[in-house]
Structure 1
Amino acid sequence: MAMQGLRRTRQQVLGFLLRQSRIYSAGNHWTGKHRRWLAAQGFEHPARQIAFEEMVQVVDEAEARRDRLARQMEALVPSWSLAPVVTVIQALRGIALIAAITIVAEIGDFHRFANPRQLMAYLGLVPCEHSSGAKTARGNITKAGNTRARRMLVESAWTYRLPARIGETILKRNQGLDQSIRDIAWKAQVRLCARHRRMTRAGKSANVVNVAIARELAAFVWAIATSLKQPV
């Protein structure tokens, strides 16, 4: 997928810089500010400079491919019977167009799940249980469900590490949506951002935190998607 390719190429650039002790600490990666910082990096050894420039060029190409795919998908959505679901779940932080399309395409009709826990199980986001006598221990998630949709939710969960807020992007995606849907999305932000912060402070690993947030995020996706009438 285009997003996976972009993620991989970006990691290669950051890994290369880390090995050269070049660490960006002025904010998030891949923002305009970070891009300007990247452009200012230079290496004395020609081979390193060439390798760095080539890796950045690959990132540029991957971003262009992602944007091209997003435009193509956006053009096709209006003719899709599940287009309304794609629109409303984008009210949730971290779920932009490609993520929304992927999740809806993989899951289909959300009404087939009687409750959010059934959806979590379908996605492989529920912990596996081991019983021994009177005791039941919970382990890692089963990972037995839909891989692509689960991956999208785990990636989306990363955005909840920041404080809850309604930025310009969310405001734009919220235009025309019912207040009830916006209320669910805001409730998700407040709850998930707070939980992300608590778990991080408790020393939980980033992977454990993201999976826990993704599990709850799936419940909010279900709540919003099932607020619409069942597709015919």
Structure 2
Amino acid sequence: MFVAEVGEVDRFAGPAQLTSRAGLTPRHRESDLVVHRGRITKQGSTLVRWAAVEAAHGVPHTAGWLTSTRARVAERRGRNIATVAVARKLLTLVYYGLRDGHIRALAPAGGGVSRFGRDRTRGRATSGPRRPTARPPA
């Protein structure tokens, strides 16, 4: 769905432009010292916005940081605003997934190499154990 509706992801400078095209960014009107922030713009593709919000509703409770983000925002701002915030983050992940061919948020933490010198993604030994750098005395 996202691939068909978004098309070539290279035409966007970054994930912010993709979320803006989907209409998931908040309105921002500003004049000198007065700033008005409003609801989402709803400009752009209705299908991408709908699919992102539906995907945000379907995020499982075991999704880790997405679930904690939704709970944290829902506690402060409400359930619907939290769903739109998670949809915006999911659309950011879709951008990186289409651009790079994999999703970085799903990769193991720490760059894929454990402190014991084993590559976490492939399970084989690297060039050697990573040693902590010496800290200067305080």
With the shorter chain as reference, the TM-score category is 0.5 to 0.7
From 66, 72, 75, the equivalent of 1:192 is 66
Counterpart Cα distance in 2 of 1:112 and 1:206: 33
Is the counterpart of residue 225 in structure 1 residue 98 in structure 2? yes
Partner of 2:81: 208
Structure with the largest fraction of helix: 1
The letter for the 1-side match of 2:27 is: C
Partner of 1:34: none
* Structure 2 CA distance for partners of 1:132 and 1:103, relative to 1, 3 Å: same
Unaligned runs of 5+ in 1: 1-101, 165-189
Asked whether the 8 Å contact 1:161–1:196 carries over to 2, the reply is no
Q: Secondary structure at the match of 1:160?
A: coil
Partner of 2:43: 144
- Following TM superposition, by how much is the alpha carbon of 1:161 offset from its aligned partner in structure 2, in angstroms? 6.3
Q: Map residues 1-232 of structure 1 onto 2, 5 A cutoff.
A: 102-160=1-59, 162-164=61-63, 190-202=64-76, 204-228=77-101
Asked whether the 8 Å contact 2:74–2:81 carries over to 1, the reply is no
Sequence identity (%)? 35
Counterpart Cα distance in 2 of 1:199 and 1:128: 18
Deviations 1:180-215 (A, max 9, x none): xxxxxxxxxx3321101112223x332211111111
Counterpart Cα distance in 2 of 1:207 and 1:132: 29
Q: Secondary structure at the match of 2:97?
A: helix
Give the structure-1-normalised TM-score.
0.41
Asked whether the 8 Å contact 2:71–2:82 carries over to 1, the reply is no
Unaligned runs of 5+ in 2: 102-138
Give the structure-2-normalised TM-score.
0.67
